[in-house]
Chain A
């Protein structure tokens, strides 16, 4: 059990050389918006990912509420709730800064959704979880630190 868990933690991500190519080519018809952003998803830092997404110059905002555990019981499944109180929010993007590939996703709430999302993510080591909100053509950001430890016995 310990070995399996260590293996899972060590190798829970990493895009191989193949994957990016495979990923980009398989967009079916009926996509409502732009292609899955390979460049951003393969970026090795949150900053590079944000550059690829045109999200530089995001200003800090206290109107973005990130709810996540202080300490995650298991880094393989970390629940995150995000609410944006910024008027005109069109999308919410998530970056796990210390993950090998920090960009985790973008949620488009511009077509009739409330600016809220809940997701569960893999976090490999204690890391800030950074959120970037797009609203009114500008970007806003906030982050929350989530600690990840090795757990105990397996109860």
Chain B
């Protein structure tokens, strides 16, 4: 893709009817956005390290070796030592990242879809549909995000599935609000009236005409939302409500390493740094994307 857009092929002679194409030039410049680029590079490195874990370590993240607990950095071939049960910290860090990133992605896609469906219905139809949906949104928004998620996971039980349900049940409201607002504005555009005059169904108008025009805001928001989701997942695991042992995950690693903070600080600090770097990468992507898409729409 970058080869395609980086190649400044001689532009064909502009025909009089064809105006300048800002979309093209905007797409061609995505790689010049330093924030976006830094974020993408970081994320690619993180993803590579997590998913190429078998290449980067020969240890199994869950194999206990009670004869070698709490080894120091680099001892006995363990790059980051071992934890209290003799498991290789480096391997757990990499495999744990897989778990956290996978849960985070699913936990951002589900509320994204739900919120956009609900928000478009509220925005497009207005009236009592809008009133009811937006009151429900108000109720959910009234609770702090973490409080509600933790309470829901408590009720639903621990594990990945509960995290998806809890984050979806709380997270959809932001997407619903964004989409509803955007559609309320966009539906007054003449092209919507034109689509209605063409006898298109409401579903078709929403999905084919309105959503492609308004979805970018939600995509940008999703990028910052995923940071919050990773933090939520790590927090839940830290509290023992999320990913369950023996599966490795950054939250449980931080929590387990806490007891050895004075002697084996890296057991807690390294997974913490991993969370921070991942969050940073995704935030940079979100910011860069927002800049890129906003300049395009203005």
A and B co-occur in one complex: no
Q: Which B residues lie at the A interface, using CB under 8 A? A: none
Q: Which A residues lie at the B interface, using CB under 8 A? A: none
